[in-house]
């Protein structure tokens, strides 16, 4: 089911438990890496951009922290920020609960994600049993059986 959906989509970056952060890089470096590698942006410029992105979601204080010092929600937002740095038009979140551990605060996180970059389409792939967590959300939700 997921593979069928992904085959139909164009220009997307996938966020899932299978695409984790790089553990020996701090949060800022994890975000900046996309611009450095894919757009040949200087490390300095990419880091400034990454810190600015973290500032927008009130997470500037985790810029130089590593994965083991961050909460699941902080890691989730950093993974999203890294995806936003890509040039793809769509961001697809596959089963967010596998990254977050639970979905209790997912609406608040979605609001933060939309405030970061509302030019990208955010699509969430999740189980039908989790649909109540997304009620009223401004993202596209694709339900999986």
Are the beta carbons of 24 and 30 closer than 8 angstroms?
A: no
pLDDT tens digits for range 79-130: 999 998 998 988 898 889 888 988 988 888 888 888 877 788 888 888 888 8
The pLDDT assigned to 61 comes to: 97
Closest CA to 20 of 38, 2, 33, 37: 33
Dist. CA 130–CA 141, nearest whole Å: 10
Report the number of distinct structural domains present in the chain. 1
Compute and round to an integer the Cα radius of gyration of the chain. Answer: 15
pLDDT reported for residue 134: 83
Could you tell me the residue range of the domain that residue 47 belongs to?
2-144
Q: Is 122 helix (H, G, I), strand (E, B) or coil?
A: strand
For residue 7, pLDDT beyond 80: no
What average pLDDT does the segment 44-73 reach? Answer: 95
Residue positions counted in the chain? 145
| C-alpha span between 10 and 66 (Å, rounded) | 32
Question: Has residue 145 got a pLDDT over 70?
Answer: no
* pLDDT value at 6 more than 90: no
pLDDT for res 2: 67
Q: What CATH number should be reported for the domain holding residue 24?
A: 3.40.50.300
Structure token pair of residue 135: 């009620």
pLDDT tens-digit readout, 14-54:
899 988 899 999 999 999 999 999 999 999 999 999 999 99
């Amino acid at each position: 089911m997921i593979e069928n959906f992904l085959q139909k989509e164009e220009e997307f970056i996938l966020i899932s438990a299978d695409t984790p952060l790089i553990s020996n890089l701090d949060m800022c470096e994890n975000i900046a890496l996309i611009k450095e590698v894919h757009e040949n942006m200087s490390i300095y410029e990419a880091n400034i951009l990454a810190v600015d992105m973290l500032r927008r979601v009130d997470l500037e204080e985790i810029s130089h922290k590593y994965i083991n010092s961050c909460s699941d929600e902080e890691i989730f937002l950093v993974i999203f920020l890294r995806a936003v740095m890509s040039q793809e038009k769509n961001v697809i979140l596959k089963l967010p609960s596998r990254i977050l551990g639970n979905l209790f605060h997912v609406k608040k996180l979605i609001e933060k994600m939309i405030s970061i970059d509302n030019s990208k389409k955010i699509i969430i792939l999740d189980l039908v049993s989790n649909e109540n967590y997304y009620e009223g959300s401004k993202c596209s939700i694709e339900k999986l059986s």
